Structure 1
Amino acid sequence: MPMLSALSPQLRQYMLVTANYWAFTLTDGALRMLVVLHFYSLGYSGLAIAMLFLFYEIFGVITNLVGGWLGARIGLNKTMNIGLLLQILALAMLLLPAEYLIVPWVMAAQALSGIAKDLNKMSAKSSIKMLVADDAQSSLFKWVAMLTGSKNALKGIGFFLGGLLLSLYGFSMAILLLLLMLTAVWLFSLWRLKADLGKSKTKPKFTELLSKSRAINALSAARMLLFGARDVWFVIALPLALASQFGWSHWAVGSFLALWVIGYGAVQSAAPMLTGKTRLPDGRTLTLWALLLCAIPAAIAVALQQQWQAETALPGGLLLFGAVFAINSSLHSYMIVSYAKSDGVSLDVGFYYMANAMGRLIGTVLSGWVYQQAGLAACLWISSAMLVATVLVSTLLPKHQA
């Protein structure tokens, strides 16, 4: 505690926001893996499992749009703590005996979890804008990259934790352990997080939800396509293919995806070094990195269809995709915080992450449906097509430093 007191107030708040975001992400990743693997073991099809997450993604779209407005009115500390509380309630809903965990109930719990996740994420990303000076864009890039990368590393550990807890304790006990951990974090956050962080000087009207910035609109469209391209094969199709087609155990699937997301987060954190230290990212930077990503899913699909070293091509291609995708994601995360207005920052950030949630929703539904109808290779071809569209939209971004 004396060491923390010696730090600047801005750095202490950044550490609190980051720790809060970390803890939430750990439980969110674990919950995702628990639900996918548990209901797959009960005999649910890929499309049925995707439907369990339908409300999670739909309410994520709504939450980011409304949550940005709410954060500007009541403060980001409150929206962050509300998100934690809703995740606790979502976990509590899944503690019922197995015979009561029917699809509508699980979908409702996932809806709460989706609201919670996006309230927490929007609050964390918006908070950084308030803690870094406007003329310190290089520092802003590093702070955003560190928050985003560390979050995804924790999400990967959450995947690992979900698979481990399911194997060791079963579904109900795993959910209870996550609930107890997050409750402790929520109580600490209520105590220590600064009041009125990110609260707008003026009360924004509800009609101000939609962004009026051409750059933010273009960046949001590119984000929607980018994350749709990832989730169309990663969310449902990939873990089910590894389990059913390649014979991987729940432990192996959870561990591999955990390591992938941890590595993905590490690359995100290193993005400021990997993309060059002399200039800040702009529209040209984003277009070039999106172009690099396009061919990777198509190459994996060809390897699977031709049965050319499929057991090597799939994990190897996934690692390459993760590294390039991580840099794209980190560049996006910096640019939205940089483009956003300082007063009422959560309005712009919320609109942008609404598009992110829309991409996840599209990708999740397609992942379950296309995998069930045509297999993993078809999901990969759709991913590649969406990435081509991402490149085209990215060309509309300003070709100058943010």
Structure 2
Amino acid sequence: MRFSFRTLSDDIKQYLIITGNYWAFTLTDGALRMLVVLHFHNLGYQPLEIASLFLFYEFFGVITNLFGGWLGARIGLNKTMNIGLFLQIIALSMLLVPEDMLIVPWVMAAQALSGVAKDLNKMSAKSAIKTLVPKNAEDQLYKWVALLTGSKNALKGIGFFIGGLLLSLIGFQQTIIAMATALFAIWLFSLISIKSDLGRAKNKAKFTDIFSKSPAINSLSAARLFLFGARDVWFVIALPVYLSTAFRWDHWTVGGFLALWVIAYGIVQSIAPRITGVKSKKRQSINVPPDGKSAINYAFCLAFIPACIALALTFDFHTQASLLIGLLLFGAVFAVNSSLHSYLIVSYAKEDGASLDIGFYYMANALGRLIGTVLSGWIFQEYGLIACLWVSSSFLLITSVISLGLPRLKPQEV
């Protein structure tokens, strides 16, 4: 049977366009990060100095998510998504200045703009799904959210490879030009393809609405903050530096391994509904999506992994194998946690102006990444990787406790 885009429903078409938009942005975002890391490493910058280039990227993600949800509810998600794409084009263009002008403040400013662009695009894509999935179709909602989230992270890992490959083949500036040109074409297509009223709240959103009044969303947001802080406190800076110093891996080996880790992580996110799904007692053909109890269980299980790695490193028990196997296990369980959380926030968000709740939640997500990034550099430099792992485990236990406040499915719903 021949596939035809025209025969699809409008909602499916919009989902595919939004997903394609998000994919294209994610590829350039991953490639840009690898370009900056490798290019500035070649210029002689130390790992912690390179990491500092991304602090504004994370900081402005916090600000963008807090206000971006309100903006999306006011003007529509099509506009916030397209604004995000255009800002990424500007951020890329800022790196086309002569090499002697690529000083740290200028690159940090470009990364700040890219951080704003990324979170506008992500918030818009996640919020748009809420408006496209029929009400009470929770199983379908979970699958769509998991596919969007997982494919994004897999493509980000592929973007790492693309950035490194293009840098070696055509150089820094030519790679930036190629990505900016491709993104400009996608931006033009997006302008005419996404519904003009997508996600716009029927009731005019007030500025004070940026702060969620829902206990479930507040609990989930707090849990998300500690969840991502737990990942980045050892993954962002401590792990790459440790791999290169303790195991004598070169930068290509470190970058390639972490890129493959991100791709595998994204694949697991995409299939999370198959892992967490439970058959309904009423209708055996229907999967019951996860609830607050699932979030508690998976976070609690995840907390043991960095603790076990820390113990293995402390007692010098097959150090390299323990770290790498532990990292793979951590990635798989963390991926399920992340996908589960991503579904829950879209499910909890109110129908009218969903971007307000989702923006607030991703503000907590960005804040967790920022805190994790800062702590990763400081704790590793002062106390080493083992201390980072214990902090990670502690954060995950806090995530489990906070998740006790999340709603549970009633027995009759299962």
Is TM > 0.5 for Structure 1 vs Structure 2?
yes
Q: Distance in 2 between matches of 1:110 and 1:216?
A: 29
TM alignment of 1:59-70, pairs within 5 A: 59-70=60-71
Partner of 2:407: 398
Q: Distance in 1 between matches of 2:171 and 2:319?
A: 32
Segment drifting more, 373-382 vs 333-342: 373-382
Partner of 1:163: 164
Equivalent position amino acid for 1:294 in 2: A
TM alignment of 1:37-116, pairs within 5 A: 37-116=38-117
* Match for residue 331 of structure 1 among 321, 337, 340: 340
The answer to whether structure 1 residue 319 and structure 2 residue 328 are counterparts is yes
Deviation, 1:281, is: 1.1
Task: Encode CA deviations 1:343-401: one digit per residue, 9 max, x unaligned.
Answer: 00000000000000000110111122222223322222211111111111111111226
Q: Distance in 2 between matches of 1:147 and 1:290?
A: 22
Q: Match of 1:247, SS? A: coil
Partner of 2:218: 217
Equivalent position amino acid for 1:151 in 2: K
Segment drifting more, 178-187 vs 199-208: 178-187
The answer to whether structure 1 residue 129 and structure 2 residue 138 are counterparts is no
Deviation, 1:248, is: 2.2
Partner of 2:284: none
Partner of 1:22: 23
Question: Root-mean-square deviation (CA), in Å?
Answer: 1.7
Equivalent position amino acid for 2:238 in 1: A
* Match for residue 354 of structure 1 among 349, 363, 368: 363
Segment drifting more, 67-76 vs 376-385: 376-385
Q: Distance in 2 between matches of 1:313 and 1:173?
A: 41
Q: Distance in 2 between matches of 1:168 and 1:249?
A: 19
Deviation, 1:144, is: 0.6
Q: Distance in 2 between matches of 1:19 and 1:382?
A: 37
Deviation, 1:254, is: 2.3
Q: Distance in 2 between matches of 1:382 and 1:300?
A: 12
The answer to whether structure 1 residue 281 and structure 2 residue 282 are counterparts is no
User: What residue ranges of structure 2 are gaps of 5+ in the alignment?
Assistant: 280-287
Partner of 1:343: 352
Q: Distance in 2 between matches of 1:311 and 1:175?
A: 36
Q: Distance in 2 between matches of 1:148 and 1:2?
A: 25
Equivalent position amino acid for 2:118 in 1: K
Say how many residue pairs are matched: 402
Structure 1 contact 228–386 (Cα < 8 Å) conserved = yes
TM-score (norm 2): 0.93
Deviation, 1:2, is: 8.0
Deviation, 1:239, is: 2.1
Deviation, 1:298, is: 1.8
Query: Structure 1 residues 227, 356: CA separation in 2 closer, same or farther (over 3 Å shift)?
Result: same
TM alignment of 1:155-194, pairs within 5 A: 155-194=156-195
Equivalent position amino acid for 1:237 in 2: A
Q: Match of 1:168, SS? A: helix
Deviation, 1:190, is: 1.4
TM-score (norm 1): 0.96
Partner of 2:316: 307
Q: Distance in 1 between matches of 2:3 and 2:330?
A: 43
Structure 1 contact 231–363 (Cα < 8 Å) conserved = yes
Segment drifting more, 113-122 vs 194-203: 194-203
Structure 1 contact 160–257 (Cα < 8 Å) conserved = no
Deviation, 1:117, is: 0.5
Q: Distance in 2 between matches of 1:287 and 1:146?
A: 22
Q: Distance in 1 between matches of 2:234 and 2:168?
A: 25
Task: Encode CA deviations 1:144-198: one digit per residue, 9 max, x unaligned.
Answer: 1111111111111112222323333443333233222222221221121221110
Structure 1 contact 46–368 (Cα < 8 Å) conserved = no
Partner of 2:374: 365
Q: Percent identity?
A: 67
Equivalent position amino acid for 2:114 in 1: S
TM alignment of 1:235-314, pairs within 5 A: 235-278=236-279, 279-314=288-323
Q: Distance in 1 between matches of 2:100 and 2:43?
A: 12
Q: Distance in 2 between matches of 1:268 and 1:291?
A: 18
Segment drifting more, 310-319 vs 321-330: 310-319
User: What residue ranges of structure 1 are gaps of 5+ in the alignment?
Assistant: none
Task: Encode CA deviations 1:214-271: one digit per residue, 9 max, x unaligned.
Answer: 0000000000000111111112222222233322233222221121111111111111
Structure 1 contact 303–310 (Cα < 8 Å) conserved = yes
Partner of 1:146: 147
Query: Structure 1 residues 269, 252: CA separation in 2 closer, same or farther (over 3 Å shift)?
Result: same
Segment drifting more, 123-132 vs 271-280: 271-280
Q: Distance in 2 between matches of 1:50 and 1:135?
A: 43
